[in-house]
Structure 1
Amino acid sequence: MRDAFSSALVAAAQRDPKLLLLTGDHGYALFDPFRKACPDQYMNCGIAEQNMVGVAAGLAKAGFRPVVYGLAAFVPIRVLEQIKIDVCYEHLPVTFIGDGAGVVYAHLGTSHQSTEDIAALRAVPHVSIYSPGDRFELTACFDRIMQSSGPAYLRMGKADLGDVHAGPLAKWNGELIPVTTSNAPHLFVATGSGLKLAQKIAAAIGNADVVSVPCLKPFPEESLRRLAQRREAVVTFEEHSIYGGLGGAVAESLVGRYVGTFLRIGIPDQFSTLCGNYPFLMESHGLGLSDVENRIRKVLREHVEYQ
């Protein structure tokens, strides 16, 4: 996914000399192709993320198209006030890239993990939020951002879990992307790394369709409502807090319109208190494959018994 981002960024910069890449002393190897292809469009602002957003806002007002890169724990979390006031209040065309979202920086602890970035930005006016699930979704998301004229946030997980789609997504319009469509009784709604998890659980349990949500804001409410009609259960998957992220957006969209079982799979209301690799951290938050499968089976079984 990171290679796809690098390729999309270089291509966009070569098309538009006004595109500038700003980084807070991160991503050196990732940006080797960019520095080689567009050396005059690269700025290392140092470990001063708040100032970097202010610089990006000034450049945007001068007619440039800044892309601000950082770890998701810093961009957007550390610079939330600057994003709100300097960029979104002015409705400036600044793109924020939050790399390593979720708990993928497992060994570095809570300070370098970001499980609240979507929730924080959903409440800030004017900013669009994207959370691609594979390299093809990332390219489609970045292309859509470059076609827009306002602030945007692109959330990337550093762990590459593999492709979900067979190839590029032509003419994606920001709506939900069906992965399986069989009119199954259960609907799995996923974003980011949660898409691969949803796909695996659906294959294990059966009787479930999977849809991807690469764009979380503006949220595709109407298409979700249509897909959720007559489903016995709707389950959301995300590597983000169960509060304020995809699960919250789906719940807000369906409240008063859906009467089936609803379950959110994500990070519970807790910090990472243990240290280990990425799979270990996911398991510590209850997001291991077997734990999630058992939990969903239990909820679906209870739904059948209640009926």
Structure 2
Amino acid sequence: MRNAFSEALVRLAKADPNVLLLTGDHGYALFDEFRKACPAQYINAGIAEQNMVGMAAGLARTGFRPIVYGLSAFIPVRVVEQIKLDVAHDKLPVIFIGDGAGFVYSHLGTSHQSTEDIACTRAIPDLSVYSPADRFEVTACMDAAYQSKSSVYLRMGKSDRGDVHAAIPKQKIGALLQARPANAADIAFIATGSMVRTALDIATASYPDAGVWSAPFIKPIDSAQVAAVCRRARTVVVLEEHSVLGGLGSVIAEISAEFAPVRILRIGVRDRFSHHCGTYEYLLNEHALDRAAIEQRIRDFLAAT
């Protein structure tokens, strides 16, 4: 995913000299190719993320297309106020990249784990929120963010769980992407980011007739399409490496409640911090987001309905 992001970044910057990359003293190896190809379009703003967003806002006002990069614990969480007032309020074309979303920076503790970034950003008016699942969705989301000429937050996990698609999907902004066809109406899976691969694996192994949809666009999202998925299923399982409060599960539940009521199982991070540090796989296990724990939750939920 990060390679796809780097390639898209270099391609956009080569095609448009107004594209500028701003980083808060992160991503050196990731941006080796960018610095080599477009050295005059690279700005290391240092560990001063709030100032960096202000710089991006000023650059956007003068015709540049800033792309602001940081760990998602800092971009956007540390700079929510600056994103809201400096950028989104005036609908400036700034793209924010939050790398390492979820538990990927596991050993660095709660300060570097980001499970609330979707909730923080989706409530800000005029700010789109993207959450790609694989390298193909990263490319599609980068192109969509650039072409939209609006304020965008793109959430990217460093854990590459494998491809979801065979090629770059070509669908409109806001659409759910069908990762697996639906043959029956008993259960449907909607997932985002790293959890799409998990949803596919679980559906393939245990629910062969279930459809699986990827949600690379959290906001805007096609409410009519979501409602259609909900109408066709008896149960909708939503998976995300993010808090169950304010994330994709909340989005789907809100749409369902208004247009197509159905039982929804929201699988994500419960309302708590990590108790310990450890590997990425350890933290998925601690928060019951490993495959075995998710499969058990689904079985329990279905048995109770």
User: TM-score, normalization: structure 2?
Assistant: 0.97
Aligned counterparts of 1:103 and 1:68: Cα–Cα separation in 2: 21
Query: Do the aligned partners of 2:230 and 2:261 also contact (CA within 8 Å) in 1?
Result: no
Secondary structure of the 2:54 match is: helix
Query: Do the aligned partners of 1:205 and 1:297 also contact (CA within 8 Å) in 2?
Result: no
Aligned match of 1:111: 111
- Give the C-alpha shift of residue 257 in structure 1: 3.5
The correspondence of residues 1-307 of structure 1 with structure 2, limited to 5 A, is: 1-184=1-184, 185-206=186-207, 207-303=209-305
Alignment-mate amino acid for residue 202 of structure 1: A
Alignment-mate amino acid for residue 188 of structure 2: L
Aligned counterparts of 2:233 and 2:190: Cα–Cα separation in 1: 12
Query: Do the aligned partners of 2:189 and 2:237 also contact (CA within 8 Å) in 1?
Result: yes
Aligned counterparts of 1:37 and 1:236: Cα–Cα separation in 2: 40
Secondary structure of the 1:21 match is: strand
Aligned counterparts of 2:173 and 2:238: Cα–Cα separation in 1: 21
Does the C-alpha gap of structure 1 residues 169 and 273 become closer, same or farther in structure 2, counting only changes over 3 Å?
same
Percent identity between the two aligned chains: 56
Secondary structure of the 2:136 match is: helix
User: TM-score, normalization: structure 1?
Assistant: 0.97
- Give the C-alpha shift of residue 174 in structure 1: 3.2
Unpaired runs of 5+ residues, structure 2, are: none
Secondary structure of the 1:238 match is: strand
Secondary structure of the 1:78 match is: helix
Aligned counterparts of 1:80 and 1:273: Cα–Cα separation in 2: 25
- Give the C-alpha shift of residue 205 in structure 1: 1.7
Alignment-mate amino acid for residue 201 of structure 2: K
- Report the number of matched residues: 303
Alignment-mate amino acid for residue 183 of structure 2: N
- Give the C-alpha shift of residue 118 in structure 1: 0.3
Query: Do the aligned partners of 1:140 and 1:172 also contact (CA within 8 Å) in 2?
Result: no
Does the C-alpha gap of structure 1 residues 256 and 217 become closer, same or farther in structure 2, counting only changes over 3 Å?
closer
Secondary structure of the 2:67 match is: strand
- Give the C-alpha shift of residue 256 in structure 1: 4.1
- Give the C-alpha shift of residue 173 in structure 1: 3.8
Alignment-mate amino acid for residue 163 of structure 2: D
- Give the C-alpha shift of residue 171 in structure 1: 4.8
- Give the C-alpha shift of residue 261 in structure 1: 2.2
Alignment-mate amino acid for residue 141 of structure 2: C
- Give the C-alpha shift of residue 301 in structure 1: 2.1
Alignment-mate amino acid for residue 18 of structure 1: N
